[in-house]
């Protein structure tokens, strides 16, 4: 059968053939690309298909010794612009200005820089404002997320913690010193993307959350920090001092529990703060210690045999001529032993002890107590103080060193030196960061692990403790340092400062300080406090000693340390009633039978009946005087004997 | 037979690929929820730290509750 071919059928065949050829060609090319990949094609495919995400990890947080947050990071919106894509700069600036509380003109200038592709409009803004700006969908305006560092305790320990600058980098304090542990590098994650540009995380799923930096656990206790700052701040204001410093540490371990520098700064307002106020004065400021340094002079002389405990030193009634100069003090003691030199803070006595010790040995003991070198407490910019070689000393320098003039120390060095006496003679290294903890559970231990070197014999340490306790007793130069409940030991200091205009010591410009420890029976805390250039009450015993008393009393109570002052054990304790607390007073007809009751129960009963109780022993009450039923007036005193073994 | 097998294998592969993409979207969504919750947790942590700051607590205790500082020791050793 012949006939003309259907033209539509022919076209269909041609089309089908063409399609088969085309698909065959594509298939062949696909096979070719799979088997023999072309690098240019592969890289182009990767560019089109892959999405690169830069993930900034969270900076590690700072916690205090009890796990309270001191610093943390929060994702916060930041607004930026691509001026080349902003069509109406004036209108955009007006809309943004309203939300950001900024001058529209200032913003307009930024947006008008059409030659630039990127300009920050506002960084780390309130999340609600960031959201509103996003919702406006302004041309050329974008909102990204940046980490913002927050310090919830504001000024507390600000100079210790420090601050973070742009790029999430620590610029001051612990934030700077431990930046390498706190901060982790940005990580890049590659993901496939769909037609709308959304990421498809088929690979590298584990890397979706970047590894945050380590969290640091400090030895600072924020309650103690607040206590120290509050007490120092009040006295600084009253005395009109330029600045003040306080260091509270554990003399047994070297843990720094509070480190205060005043005036204070707020790390949340970095831009508004005077740079000079950021100095951590406790480790960066050098001052002449004055009489507090007599502890080191006497300790060195005792330990090296240059002075015996009972030996009397001629104090020349307040005047001593050394190297052609006369050292004069207001004290007029003829003879004093070591205890007397400390108790009455006699400069002539201390100078004579230093002279008997000699330059080399004095230098050696100053070094043994850790002066002239950094403590390694773990903050940036720590200084080692000022200590010249003994070969450069004249006799006058040696005598001056004896009572803490002519030498430069830091507050943390003084606290460490006195810790040696407090803990029975061992050197400890102060530290402020205990450890870093990471998300994977690993830890970096920062606390010192070295064994404590012995500096003083236990006997010398005990003697010094006893003598320093006498300083705080009535008649001593530091009697205002003694709290009612704890036995304390310490030393006052009032050091003259060099007047830069005359080059000699000024009588008006001084550093008033006190350093000591408590409780004497088992020292738990060492506290050093210094006021720079007070205008009023400039003697250490008048200004710094009361601060020491208040801090020690409250801090030891907060730590649950038992009182060790005998007189305070019951009569001054808060467990006993105050007159004003006890209204109305019950009228007693006879003393109740307290036998068989515990100490707590007896005290509760006594409080109810307005009786003053003298507690003798522990356990349960076995005897009492007056006896049960005997007549006693309200507020009369009752002796109760307790025993661990019940007589019943 | 071979064609059927190839087609079935292709379908399984394509279905698997769809499933993978679906899971990826869910993962992204979960990640966003996690980020938001984490942000909320951090925000609450900061708020808690601010509210419990010793300075604030002391101010409230004194001014609002009329309490006073008591530095007397909590532990009293009774003499034997």
How confident is the model over A316-370, as pLDDT tens digits? 766 788 888 888 776 677 888 999 999 888 889 999 999 999 999 999 999 999 9
pLDDT in tens, A417-469: 999 999 999 999 999 999 999 988 999 999 998 878 999 999 999 999 999 99
Contacts of B28 in chain A (CB under 8 A): 198-199, 201
Any chain B CB within 8 A of the CB of A68? Answer: yes
Nearest by CB: B73 against A73, A205, A573: A573
Q: Do B24 and A68 touch (CB under 8 A)?
A: no
Residue A1 predicted with pLDDT over 50: no
Q: What is the pLDDT at residue A113?
A: 78
Residue A52 predicted with pLDDT over 90: no
Q: What does the block give as tokens for A228?
A: 């120290």
Q: What is the pLDDT at residue A582?
A: 38
**Cα–Cα distance between A289 and A403 in angstroms, integer?**
8
Q: Do A615 and B50 touch (CB under 8 A)?
A: no
pLDDT in tens, A178-197: 999 999 887 777 767 777 76
Residue A538 predicted with pLDDT over 50: yes
Our CA-based measurement puts residue B51 at a distance from the nearest CA of chain A, in whole angstroms, of 9
Contacts of A570 in chain B (CB under 8 A): 76, 78
Vertex A12 angle, CA A6 and A15, to 5°:
145
Nearest by CB: B54 against A200, A222, A562: A222
Residue A11 predicted with pLDDT over 80: yes
Q: What is the mean pLDDT of chain A?
A: 85
**Strand A612-616 versus strand A637-643 pairing type:** parallel
Q: Which residue has the higher pLDDT, A564 or A438?
A: A438
Tell me the pTM.
Answer: 0.77
Smallest CA-to-CA distance from A621 within A590, A592, A648, A599 is with A599
Q: Cβ(A304)–Cβ(A320) under 8 Å?
A: no
Contacts of A232 in chain B (CB under 8 A): none
Q: Cβ(A245)–Cβ(A515) under 8 Å?
A: no
**Interfacial B residues in 9-28 facing A (CB < 8 Å):** 20-21, 24-25, 27-28
- A39-53, A154-168, B36-50 — which is least confidently predicted? A39-53
Helical H runs in A305-457? 338-343, 347-357, 359-368, 395-402, 411-422
Q: Which of the residue ranges A417-421, A499-503, A616-620 has the most confident prediction, judged by mean pLDDT?
A: A417-421
Place of tokens 């380590």: A214
Question: Which pLDDT band, with edges at 50, 70 and 90, does A377 fall under?
Answer: very high
Question: Which pLDDT band, with edges at 50, 70 and 90, does A75 fall under?
Answer: confident
Residue A26 parent element (H or E): helix A7-35
Residue B42 parent element (H or E): helix B2-51
Residue A335 parent element (H or E): strand A335-336
- φ, ψ at A142 (rounded to 5°): -130, 155
Contacts of B47 in chain A (CB under 8 A): 152
Any chain A CB within 8 A of the CB of B66? Answer: no
Number of neighbours of residue A554 by Cβ within 10 angstroms: 21
**Interfacial A residues in 534-553 facing B (CB < 8 Å):** 550, 553
Question: Which pLDDT band, with edges at 50, 70 and 90, does A634 fall under?
Answer: low
**Interfacial A residues in 550-569 facing B (CB < 8 Å):** 550, 553-554, 556-557, 560-564, 566, 568-569
For residue A472, give Cα distances in angstroms to A224, A479, B71: 23, 4, 19
Residue A202 predicted with pLDDT over 70: no
Contacts of A154 in chain B (CB under 8 A): 53, 55
Any chain A CB within 8 A of the CB of B6? Answer: no
Residue A260 parent element (H or E): strand A256-262
Smallest CA-to-CA distance from A56 within A185, A166, A239, A162 is with A185
Question: Which pLDDT band, with edges at 50, 70 and 90, does A581 fall under?
Answer: very low
Contacts of A230 in chain B (CB under 8 A): 55, 58
For residue A550, give Cα distances in angstroms to A188, A565, A575, B61: 54, 16, 20, 19
Our CA-based measurement puts residue A197 at a distance from the nearest CA of chain B, in whole angstroms, of 12
**Strand A243-249 versus strand A525-532 pairing type:** antiparallel
Q: What is the pLDDT at residue A604?
A: 72
Any chain B CB within 8 A of the CB of A232? Answer: no
Residue A544 predicted with pLDDT over 50: yes
Our CA-based measurement puts residue A53 at a distance from the nearest CA of chain B, in whole angstroms, of 13
Q: Cβ(A288)–Cβ(A404) under 8 Å?
A: yes
Q: What is the pLDDT at residue A86?
A: 85
For residue A141, give Cα distances in angstroms to A98, A104, A127, A144, A427: 15, 15, 16, 10, 60
CB pairs under 8 A between A and B: 121
**Cα–Cα distance between A114 and A92 in angstroms, integer?**
14
Our CA-based measurement puts residue A437 at a distance from the nearest CA of chain B, in whole angstroms, of 17
CA atoms within 13 A of residue A50's CA, in its CB half-sphere: 13
Q: Which residue has the higher pLDDT, A286 or B68?
A: A286
Which three-class secondary structure state does DSSP give residue A217?
strand
Contacts of A572 in chain B (CB under 8 A): 72
**Cα–Cα distance between A463 and A450 in angstroms, integer?**
27
Any chain B CB within 8 A of the CB of A150? Answer: yes
Burial (CB count <10 Å: 0-12, 13-18, 19+), residue A489: buried
Contacts of A74 in chain B (CB under 8 A): 39, 42-43, 46
Q: Which residue has the higher pLDDT, B22 or B79?
A: B22
Q: Do B76 and A573 touch (CB under 8 A)?
A: yes
For residue A312, give Cα distances in angstroms to A349, A396, A467: 9, 22, 15
Residue A56: which residues within 8 A CB-CB, separation 6 or more? A146, A147, A168, A186, A210
Residue A453: which residues within 8 A CB-CB, separation 6 or more? A426, A427
Strand locations in A470-599, DSSP E? 489-498, 505-518, 525-532
Contacts of B77 in chain A (CB under 8 A): 562-564, 569
Nearest by CB: B76 against A202, A554, A562: A562
Q: Do A560 and B74 touch (CB under 8 A)?
A: yes
Q: Do B78 and A194 touch (CB under 8 A)?
A: no
Q: Do A563 and B39 touch (CB under 8 A)?
A: no
Question: Which pLDDT band, with edges at 50, 70 and 90, does A416 fall under?
Answer: very high
Q: What is the pLDDT at residue A319?
A: 73
Choose from A557, A561, A575, A601 for mutation: most chain B CBs within 10 A.
Answer: A557
ipTM here: 0.77
Question: Which pLDDT band, with edges at 50, 70 and 90, does A586 fall under?
Answer: very low
pLDDT in tens, B17-34: 889 888 888 888 888 898
Question: Which pLDDT band, with edges at 50, 70 and 90, does A618 fall under?
Answer: low
**Cα–Cα distance between A258 and A639 in angstroms, integer?**
41
Nearest by CB: B24 against A74, A202, A550: A202
Place of tokens 């004093």: A336
Q: What percent of chain A has a predicted confidence (pLDDT) above 70?
A: 88
**Cα–Cα distance between A246 and A257 in angstroms, integer?**
11
């Amino acid at each position: 059968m012949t006939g003309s071919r259907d033209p539509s059928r022919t076209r269909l065949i041609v089309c089908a053939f063409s399609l088969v050829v085309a698909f065959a060609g594509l298939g062949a090319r696909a096979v070719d690309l799979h088997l023999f990949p072309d690098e240019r094609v592969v890289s182009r495919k990767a560019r089109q298909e892959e999405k690169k995400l830069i993930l900034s990890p969270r900076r590690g947080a700072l916690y205090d010794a009890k796990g309270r947050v001191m610093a943390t990071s929060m994702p916060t919106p930041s607004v930026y612009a691509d001026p080349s894509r902003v069509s109406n700069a004036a209108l955009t600036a007006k809309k943004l200005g309203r939300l950001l509380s900024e001058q529209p003109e200032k913003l307009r200038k930024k947006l008008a820089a059409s030659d630039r592709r990127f300009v920050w409009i506002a960084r780390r803004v309130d999340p609600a404002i960031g959201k509103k700006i996003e919702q406006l969908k302004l041309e050329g305006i974008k909102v990204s997320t940046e980490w913002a560092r927050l310090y919830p305790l504001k000024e507390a320990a600000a100079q210790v913690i420090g601050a973070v600058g742009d790029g999430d980098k620590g610029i001051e304090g612990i934030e700077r010193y431990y930046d390498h542990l706190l901060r982790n590098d940005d990580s890049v994650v590659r993901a496939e993307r769909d037609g709308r540009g959304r990421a498809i995380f088929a690979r590298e799923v584990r890397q979706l959350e970047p590894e945050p930096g380590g969290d640091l656990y400090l030895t600072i206790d924020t309650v103690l920090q607040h206590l120290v700052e509050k007490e120092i701040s009040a006295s600084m204001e009253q005395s009109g001092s330029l600045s003040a410093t306080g260091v509270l540490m554990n003399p047994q371990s070297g843990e720094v529990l509070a480190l205060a520098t005043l005036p204070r700064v707020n790390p949340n307002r970095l831009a508004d703060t005077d740079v000079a106020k950021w100095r951590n004065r406790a480790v960066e400021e050098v001052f002449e210690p004055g009489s507090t340094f007599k502890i080191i002079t006497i300790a060195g002389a005792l330990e090296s045999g240059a002075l015996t405990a009972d030996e009397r030193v001629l104090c020349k009634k307040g005047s001593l001529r050394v190297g052609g100069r006369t050292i004069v003090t207001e004290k007029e003691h003829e003879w004093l032993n070591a205890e007397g030199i400390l108790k009455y803070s006699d400069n002539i006595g201390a100078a004579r002890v230093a002279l008997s010790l000699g330059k080399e040995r004095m230098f050696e003991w100053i070094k043994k107590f850790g002066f002239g070198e950094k403590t390694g407490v773990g903050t940036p910019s720590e200084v080692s103080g000022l200590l010249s070689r003994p070969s450069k000393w004249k006799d006058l320098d040696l005598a001056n060193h004896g009572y803490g003039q002519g030498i430069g120390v830091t507050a943390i060095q003084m606290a460490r030196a006195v810790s040696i006496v407090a803990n029975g003679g061992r050197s400890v290294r102060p530290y402020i960061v205990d450890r870093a903890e990471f998300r994977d559970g690993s830890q970096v231990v920062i606390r010192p692990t070295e064994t404590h070197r012995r500096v003083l014999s236990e006997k010398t340490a005990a003697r010094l403790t006893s003598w320093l306790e006498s300083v705080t007793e009535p008649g001593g130069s530091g009697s205002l340092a003694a709290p009612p409940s704890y036995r304390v030991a310490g030393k006052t200091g009032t050091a003259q400062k060099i007047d830069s205009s005359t080059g000699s010591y000024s009588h008006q410009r001084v550093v008033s300080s006190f350093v000591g420890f408590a409780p004497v029976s088992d020292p738990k805390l060492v506290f050093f406090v210094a006021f720079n250039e007070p205008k009023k009450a400039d003697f250490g015993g008048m200004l710094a000693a009361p601060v020491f008393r208040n801090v020690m009393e409250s801090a030891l109570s907060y730590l649950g340390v038992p009182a060790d002052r005998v007189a305070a054990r019951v009569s001054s304790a808060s467990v006993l009633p105050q007159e004003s607390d006890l209204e109305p007073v019950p009228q007693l007809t006879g003393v109740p039978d307290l036998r068989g009751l515990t100490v707590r129960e007896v005290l509760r009963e006594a409080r109810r009946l307005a009786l003053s109780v003298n507690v003798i022993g522990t356990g349960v009450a076995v005897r009492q005087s007056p006896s049960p039923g005997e007549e006693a007036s309200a507020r009369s005193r009752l002796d109760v004997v307790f025993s661990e073994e019940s007589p019943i | 037979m071979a064609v059927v097998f190839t087609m079935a294998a292709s379908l399984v592969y394509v279905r698997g690929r769809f499933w993978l993409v679906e899971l990826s979207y869910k993962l992204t969504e979960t990640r966003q929820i996690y980020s938001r919750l984490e942000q909320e947790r951090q925000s609450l942590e900061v708020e808690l730290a601010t509210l419990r700051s010793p300075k604030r607590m002391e101010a409230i205790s004194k001014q609002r509750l009329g309490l006073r500082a008591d530095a007397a020791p909590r532990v009293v050793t009774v003499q034997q």
